[in-house]
Amino acid sequence: MRRLPALVAVAAAMTAALFLLSLRAGRVHVFKGLDGPSAPTAIPPVSAAPWTEYQGGGDSTLAVLLTDPRSCWLGLAHGLKSAGIPFSITTDYTRAVRHRVVLVYPIVSGATLTPVASEALSRFVGGGGVLIGSEVLGAGMEKVFGFATAVPLRARFRLAFARPEEDLDPLEREIPIDNPRAASTMGAYAYTAPVEPPLAVYEDGSAAIIEHRSGAGRAVALGFDLGALLLKGYNNRQESMARSYDNGYEPALDVLLRFLGAVYRRGEDRAVTIGPVPNGRNLAVILTHDIDYTRSLRNAFVYARAEQEAGVRATYFVQAKYIRDYNDDVILSADSPALLQGLRDLGMEIASHTVSHSRTFAHFPLGEGTERYPGYHPFVADRETTTGGTVLGELRVSRFLLESLVPNLRVTSFRPGYLSNPYSLPQALAATGYRFSSSVTANDSLTHLPFQLDYARENVGEVPVFEFPITIADGPPPLEERLPESLALARRIARRGGLCVVLIHPDVVEPKLGFERQFVAGVRDFSWFGTLNDFGSWWAARNAVEISSERRGGRLVVRLTAPSPIEGLALAPPAGMHPVAGQPLVRGASEQWVVLGRLEGAATVEFTR
């Protein structure tokens, strides 16, 4: 055991003394009779997500032939889910080749594939299949993929599409794939002497993605580990890869997932993919407000009334602050229950924004899981010092207090102060009953789509919590000076379909509310609006949907399974197909999407030319 250094002990004693003083001065607000939560929180140890969980789906899905279960396949699985590409993981090549498009992940080599398996995959391409190989190092398949050798590169940081569509966004033409400033780089492979010009190249011009027609089929080789790259974004470990921190466009992961989706749809004429926004809209807009200042709760009311008038609903992340400290006075006091109830009555979501709103939350100890109100006393002494706080305390006690103050409230969404993000957050959120997190920025996650969180922000276990990263945030430069660029960003994301989470602190009403009004009016034509709980519930149900389809005569019969009810699911059928008339499940169709009504359990939708 280490001895407490004297200075730290003195500092701790002084902080404790300060806290006692604050107590004496009546700076802790106690709601009489409130005590809890009584049930302790236990966090199960990490368990590896089984790939078999993702083996469902028929042979019309993208087959993922997993050659190493210790790889970053979880990132790939979560990415394909977010992108709405139906897939099925297998370790059995004989099952994989029953599909028309097969992705071999993470490595194609003599060490991961037997000669018999390589031969079967080569025959699969010759017979008209589409084979995507991740890090193709050999296994005698160079001819099939159309290159001479795979050269290991110590590091490559950018990927540029060699023949981009004319109208491709500049930030989609070229994307970051690794971090030049990281202590260790991921490494990549370049393919030499490609038979056909490469589809994408690294910054030195060497081939990163190649495609080769072979027999009746095609083979596509990726020179980098897409699953590992996805996990860098999803686990908030991209460091300085992203081209902006917030308020910008950073579609790196989305571009690669769309590339996979396009290869799948081109190779499988039964491919049906799922859109990212309810009702086939282009953009899911979630207005959020962080209440972390004494006057914000009253101001929130003005925002909520304006939102109700505009016919939209927003999420209010409320700091459950009952201790006066360095940050501010208490936020929750005797008149708070009525204010919170008022927000709810206007249709708004009440969510948690921690108890202490500490800058050092990321470094809090996990805690015992027995923290309860009013005994839990996190105390922010200054910017660098908070005493008495734990990750579980912040999550448990804030949720308990908000739920106790407002009848029938269920708190499901969470955002930390300063987006301070402990490694234990995903599993702590799950263990304390949260389902939706908005704890990072979209740019920092390299995506404009939501995604599922991983245990300890590592690549082994998954947790049943989804992340909805922030797209546009207030703070300098002032929001009201950024309306045109904010609308341009929303349109840029909407072009491909995605998420736009807006964060506005109600520390003042105007001019921020004016921005919000104009922003909502500017995106209304192409957007869906809802709270984080609304969209999160829809997204979680979408995540569980399975799709498989088969041809019957001239028709395509699409089987859908939705374990949780979902309304407004948008399907993209194969090009040129439209739903057979008169199906009650089909609510409408646009050029791009077929929108379904309420779906629960198993159902079929039929399409025809």
Give the residue from 47, 42, 40 showing the smallest Cα distance to 454.
47
Tokens encoding 464: 């049943």
Q: Binding segment for Zn ion among 361-369, 372-380, 415-423, 578-586 (CB under 5 A)? A: 415-423
Interface with Zn ion by CB under 5 A: which range of 412-420, 516-524, 534-542, 566-574?
412-420
Smallest separation, CB 357 to Zn ion (Å): 6
| Closer residue to Zn ion, CB minimum distance, 414 or 529 | 414
Choice between 292 and 444, CB closer to Zn ion: 292
Nearer to Zn ion among residue 211 and residue 516 (C-beta): 516
- Contact region for Zn ion (CB under 5 A) — 71-79, 223-231, 246-254, 413-421? 413-421
Question: For residue 6, what is the enclosing H or E element?
Answer: helix 6-24
Stretch of residues binding Zn ion (CB under 5 A), selected from 16-24, 285-293, 374-382, 440-448: 285-293
> Which stretch in 178-186, 227-235, 290-298, 583-591 sits in contact with Zn ion by CB under 5 A?
290-298
Measured torsion, CA atoms of residues 236, 238, 243, 247, in degrees rounded to the nearest 10: 0
Least distance (Å) between residue 353 CB and Zn ion: 6
Whose Cβ is closer to Zn ion: residue 292's or residue 349's?
A: 292
Residues numbered 245 to 274 that lie near Zn ion (CB under 5 A) are: none
Stretch that binds Zn ion, among 219-227, 263-271, 291-299, 561-569 (CB under 5 A): 291-299
Shortest distance (Å) from residue 405 CB to Zn ion:
19
# residues near Zn ion by CB under 5 A: 3
Interstrand relation of 472-473 and 62-66 (parallel, antiparallel or unpaired): unpaired
Residue 89 vs 318, nearer CB to Zn ion: 318
Preceding amide of 476 cis, omega within 30: no
Distance between CA 350 and CA 348 in Å, rounded?
7
- Smallest separation, CB 296 to Zn ion (Å): 9
Tokens representing residue 428 in the block: 């702590």
Closest to Zn ion by CB, 122 vs 356, is 356
Helices assigned H by DSSP within 424-555: 425-431, 442-445, 483-496, 512-523, 532-543
User: For the window 358-397, what string marks contact with Zn ion as x by the rule CB under 5 A?
Assistant: ----------------------------------------
What secondary structure letter does DSSP report for 175? E
Closer Cβ to Zn ion, 438 or 543, answer by number: 438
- Count helices and strands (H / E) in the chain: 16, 31
Q: Give the residue with the Cβ less far from Zn ion, 256 or 473.
A: 473
Stretch that binds Zn ion, among 28-36, 105-113, 200-208, 289-297 (CB under 5 A): 289-297
* Cα torsion angle, 527, 531, 534, 537, sign: positive
Smallest separation (angstroms) from Zn ion to the CB of 501:
14
Task: Provide the residue type at 544 as one letter.
Answer: A
For Zn ion, what does the binding mask look like between residues 225 and 244, x meaning CB under 5 A? --------------------
CB 338 within 8 A of CB 555: no
Using CB under 5 A as the binding rule, the residues of this chain from 181 to 210 that contact Zn ion are none
**CB of 249 vs Zn ion, minimal distance in Å:** 24
Residue 191 CB, nearest approach to Zn ion (Å): 47
Q: Which is nearer to Zn ion, 264 or 436 (CB)?
A: 436
Contact residue for Zn ion among 417, 426, 536, 568 (CB under 5 A): 417
Q: Which is nearer to Zn ion, 367 or 417 (CB)?
A: 417
Of all residues in the shown chain, the one whose CB is closest to Zn ion is 292
Nearer to Zn ion, 90 or 319 (CB): 319
Structure tokens at 366: 């996990």
Q: From 19-27, 124-132, 186-194, 409-417, give the range in contact with Zn ion by CB under 5 A.
A: 409-417
Q: Which is nearer to Zn ion, 480 or 507 (by Cβ)?
A: 507
Closest CB 417 distance from Zn ion, rounded Å: 4
Contacts of 417 (CB under 8 A, 6+ apart): 290, 292, 319, 353, 354, 356, 357, 358, 359, 361
Residue whose token pair is 């602050």 = 321
| Segment interacting with Zn ion (CB under 5 A) among 72-80, 242-250, 283-291, 470-478 | 283-291
Provide the pairing of β-strand 314-318 with 283-291.
parallel
Place of tokens 């006075």: 329
Distance from CA of residue 156 to its chain's centroid? 25
In sequence order, which residues have a C-beta less than 8 Å from that of residue 167 and are 6 or more positions away? Answer: none
Q: Give 440's Cβ-side CA count (13 Å radius).
A: 31
Helical residues (DSSP H) of 127-242, grouped into ranges = 142-145, 170-173, 226-234
Among 84, 80, 78, which residue's Cα sits nearest to residue 103?
80
d(CA 349, CA 314): 6
Q: Measure the CA–CA gap between 300 and 288, rounded to whole angstroms.
A: 11
Exposed/middle/buried for 375, CB within 10 Å: 0-12, 13-18, 19+?
Answer: exposed
Secondary-structure percent of the chain, ordered helix, strand, coil, rounded to 5: 30, 25, 45
CB of residue 543 to Zn ion, shortest distance in Å: 28
Assess 292 for contact with Zn ion (CB under 5 A).
yes
Amino acid at residue number 467:
E
Closest to Zn ion by CB, 108 vs 339, is 339
DSSP symbol at 40: P
What is the nearest approach in angstroms of Zn ion to the Cβ of residue 292? 4
Q: How far is the CB of 319 from Zn ion (least distance, A)?
A: 7
Instruction: Please name which of 109, 90, 108, 106 lies closest in space to residue 98, comparing C-alpha atoms.
Output: 90
From CA 76, how far away is CA 257, in angstroms rounded?
9
- CB of 415: closest distance to Zn ion in angstroms? 7
Q: Which is nearer to Zn ion, 142 or 292 (CB)?
A: 292
- Which residues lie closer than 8 Å to 78 by C-beta, 6 or more apart? 230, 234, 451, 452, 454, 462
The dihedral over CA atoms of 516, 283, 254, 447, expressed in degrees to the nearest 10, equals 30
**Residue 226 Cβ vs Zn ion, minimum distance, rounded to whole Å:** 34
Q: How far is the CB of 468 from Zn ion (least distance, A)?
A: 16
Please identify which residue in 254, 290, 403, 467 interacts with Zn ion, judged by CB under 5 A: 290
Contacts with Zn ion, residue ranges (CB under 5 A)? 290, 292, 417
